[in-house]
Structure 1
Amino acid sequence: MAHPSQTRAVVADDSHFMRSVISDILSEGGIDVVALAKNGREAVEAVREYSPDVVTMDVEMPEMDGIEAVERIMAENPTPVLMLSAHTDEDADVTFRALEKGAVDFFTKPGGEVSMEMSRLKDQLVDIVLSVAEATPGKEVPTSPSVTTTPEGGVTPAPAGRYVDRPTLIIGSSTGGPTVVEQVMSTLPADANLRILIVQHMPDGFTGRFAQRLDDRSEYEVVEARDGARISDGQALVAAGSNHLEVTNYTHGTLRVSLTDDPPVNSVRPAVDVTMETAAAAIDDPLVGVILTGMGEDGAEGIRRIKERGGATIAQDEASSAVFGMPQRAIETGCVDSVEPIDTIPDAILSMISQEAH
């Protein structure tokens, strides 16, 4: 993670009070706030003038909103952007649209006594701003042939259709993850008959909308996980924000989960490790673990557990990752079978569950 003193930020918010609160928090955290903007137009101008490392961007602003500002910044001066979103369904939808336009991640503004809540969350805000500042903005991922590349450089053609019985896929991601998870899910065919668990570091109130977006964009039935939920082939669960997702039972291809409010693991909840470790312990059919872009080390131990029980493992490569932290930590375990650019990860998954591979 970048040292705070090396990080320069622009803060954009239409509320003078919020601009002051956010600026003070970042400054106290050692981040140099080089400019303040009260709307998207001023944010675009500030990025052009100051070339900051990161922008914190309000969603709803006059003259030019956060979405248009993100689009303009990515077109003119690609810069990592952190969206600051209210905890409402409307802001959740707009926030996901901003991510589609190139924003890296988002942070939910607290409700109630804002100054007190922001003070309580100040360490989290500083950490996520530093994390987003390390991301590569506006990254274009080239379309590659349908192949699977191993760390050793071997190439295996993608399979053409017949898959093992009752495969389970677990996807873990964090910073920069929502759009790449959508990309993977939109490409997986229904006839692969996967049961899928998705753990995206995301707060409560957004995971339901995220699940709905995945359901709309994929051939799978995707819902937000509920305690005691069951899924079988062709279905997927998104870990609910602020809860760990544990696999508690697996019988004849039906997978059952529970939600817990146990302490954070790797400083996050939901944690990828919790889901992968419990899945590795419970599932005796084919299992694939995938680690996508994100800051930190969550998922590395889960990948190790999946590999130890005979499962297959994939990590996103550095070139296509907004932040390479989680994939890198997973690769360093020595338990990753295949390192892939994001556009070939779906084919790698299908290769690993093809009957020919077994």
Structure 2
Amino acid sequence: MTRAVVVDDSHFMRTVISDILESDGIEVVAQADDGETGVAAVADHEPDVVTMDVEMPRMNGIEAVEEIMATNPTPVLMLSAHTDEGAEATFEALEKGAVDFLAKPGGEVSTEISAHRDALVEKVRSAARADPETFGEVDTTDDAIETDHAYIENPTLVVGASTGGPRVVERVLSDLPRNADFRVLVVQHMPDGFTARFADRLDRRSEYDVSEAEDGMRIGGGEAVVAKGGYHLEVAGYGNGRLRLRLQQEAQRHGVRPAIDVTMETAAEKVTGPLTAVVLTGMGKDGAAGVEAISSVGGATLAQNEETCSVFGIPARAIETGCVDRVLSVEEMGKAILSTIRKSE
């Protein structure tokens, strides 16, 4: 049985979250009303997973995550207010080692959380499967990749990730030199309200111009977009080295929207230039069909290895298709992506 510690300064929220989890067979072994007490509860009970509020007295959720990762590495699911401030704090917690997050639908204290019980239970179970050995902060300062090579013109890169993905996506993009001139499409399973902030962070930490995708926009070399939460991102057209994008809200695939498969399949259909697909850490099978589609048109396909994945679901399902060219660690991924477009000496 999955064992959880629930940390939230609201007695109401602790009770509602605990009741939801226990009604679905997840044992809540302790509750805590601030980060300091939560850290102690993790040490005492050694749970499989922790749900962690962000804003709390004495020790907030970010500080608590950092302390847990340093003393008793345990998967932490952040419960975040659906605000700009909540989004920024959530990304800070992910940097410190939290594996995933769920946006509280109504803010800090919400009676609506019970209406999202399925999402909460799914996120908790997914987080509980995460490997604590992968939780160390991702180093984005590695300058070992050589950047003075010549590359094939007009390459497109599609990156898909879910649980544990934000830090890994950041590392991958930060490893890509601007002169590689990719058009980059990032599909990270993430709700609306967070994808714009994620794009801002990627923009600051990579050499690429990164923004949240908009319907009808066109992107060229050196530009990247993050799929907007709540929308599938399609490649609607390709010409003169530029991608034309479309956002749509058709049915979810694999229970998510945006779905990696939608972006990869439409890229395989529309892009005639060099095309590379990368699938990273996450739960589920989204991306497997997309990898097959890109492989079928001669594109390169790469997957993150199990040792560096928080959750080895998405890459594993893609590998099972037999269409993945190479399986690599996070540290190797940037160099491998560049090798797919390097001109022969």
TM-score over 0.5 for the pair: yes
Aligned partner of 1:114 among 110, 114, 126:
110
Kept in 2, the 8 Å contact 1:141–1:343? The answer is no
State the shift of 1:257 in Å: 0.6
Instruction: Indicate yes or no: 2:72 matched with 1:77.
Output: yes
Instruction: Indicate yes or no: 2:159 matched with 1:196.
Output: no
Instruction: Indicate yes or no: 2:157 matched with 1:162.
Output: no
Supply the distance in 1 between the matched residues of 2:250 and 2:190 (Cα, whole angstroms).
16
CA 1:203–1:142 in structure 2 vs 1: closer, same or farther (change >3 Å)?
A: closer
What is residue 248 of structure 2 aligned with on the other side? 260
Kept in 2, the 8 Å contact 1:146–1:347? The answer is no
State the shift of 1:137 in Å: 2.1
State the shift of 1:119 in Å: 2.1
Aligned partner of 2:20 among 17, 20, 25:
25
Aligned partner of 1:173 among 131, 138, 161:
161
Aligned partner of 2:281 among 293, 305, 308:
293
What is residue 62 of structure 2 aligned with on the other side? 67
- Structure 1, unmatched stretches of 5+, are 1-5, 148-157
Kept in 1, the 8 Å contact 2:147–2:179? The answer is no
Aligned partner of 1:333 among 321, 328, 331:
321
What is residue 13 of structure 1 aligned with on the other side? 8
State the shift of 1:160 in Å: 5.1
State the shift of 1:159 in Å: 7.9
Mean Cα deviation higher: 104-113 or 295-304: 104-113
1:126 alignment partner AA: V
Kept in 2, the 8 Å contact 1:290–1:314? The answer is yes
Supply the distance in 2 between the matched residues of 1:243 and 1:26 (Cα, whole angstroms).
28
1:39 alignment partner AA: D
Select the structure with the greater relative contact order (CA < 8 A; seq sep ≥ 6): 1
Instruction: Indicate yes or no: 2:132 matched with 1:137.
Output: yes
State the shift of 1:180 in Å: 0.4
Supply the distance in 2 between the matched residues of 1:61 and 1:74 (Cα, whole angstroms).
18
Supply the distance in 2 between the matched residues of 1:25 and 1:45 (Cα, whole angstroms).
23
Supply the distance in 1 between the matched residues of 2:90 and 2:323 (Cα, whole angstroms).
35
> Alignment partner of 1:60: what SS?
coil
> Alignment partner of 2:132: what SS?
coil
What is residue 341 of structure 2 aligned with on the other side? 353
Name the Cα RMSD after superposition. 1.8
Kept in 2, the 8 Å contact 1:246–1:259? The answer is yes
CA 1:252–1:314 in structure 2 vs 1: closer, same or farther (change >3 Å)?
A: same
Deviations along 1:12-37, whole A, 9 cap, x unmatched? Answer: 00000000110011011110000000
State the shift of 1:141 in Å: 8.8
Supply the distance in 2 between the matched residues of 1:266 and 1:73 (Cα, whole angstroms).
32
Kept in 1, the 8 Å contact 2:260–2:287? The answer is yes
CA 1:142–1:72 in structure 2 vs 1: closer, same or farther (change >3 Å)?
A: closer
What is residue 44 of structure 2 aligned with on the other side? 49
Please, what TM-score do these two structures have when normalized by structure 2? 0.96
Mean Cα deviation higher: 217-226 or 159-168: 159-168
Supply the distance in 2 between the matched residues of 1:277 and 1:230 (Cα, whole angstroms).
18
Supply the distance in 2 between the matched residues of 1:101 and 1:141 (Cα, whole angstroms).
6
Supply the distance in 1 between the matched residues of 2:230 and 2:271 (Cα, whole angstroms).
24
State the shift of 1:356 in Å: 1.6
CA 1:114–1:159 in structure 2 vs 1: closer, same or farther (change >3 Å)?
A: closer
Supply the distance in 2 between the matched residues of 1:123 and 1:241 (Cα, whole angstroms).
18
Supply the distance in 2 between the matched residues of 1:7 and 1:327 (Cα, whole angstroms).
24
State the shift of 1:187 in Å: 1.0
State the shift of 1:267 in Å: 0.9
1:227 alignment partner AA: D
Deviations along 1:191-212, whole A, 9 cap, x unmatched? Answer: 0000000000000000000000
2:186 alignment partner AA: I
Supply the distance in 2 between the matched residues of 1:19 and 1:218 (Cα, whole angstroms).
38
Kept in 1, the 8 Å contact 2:138–2:168? The answer is no
1:241 alignment partner AA: G
State the shift of 1:276 in Å: 0.1
Identity in percent? 59
Aligned partner of 2:93 among 98, 101, 105:
98
Supply the distance in 1 between the matched residues of 2:59 and 2:131 (Cα, whole angstroms).
24
Please, what TM-score do these two structures have when normalized by structure 1? 0.92
1:24 alignment partner AA: D
Supply the distance in 1 between the matched residues of 2:147 and 2:34 (Cα, whole angstroms).
49
Kept in 2, the 8 Å contact 1:74–1:138? The answer is no
Instruction: Indicate yes or no: 2:265 matched with 1:280.
Output: no
> Alignment partner of 2:307: what SS?
coil
CA 1:141–1:352 in structure 2 vs 1: closer, same or farther (change >3 Å)?
A: farther
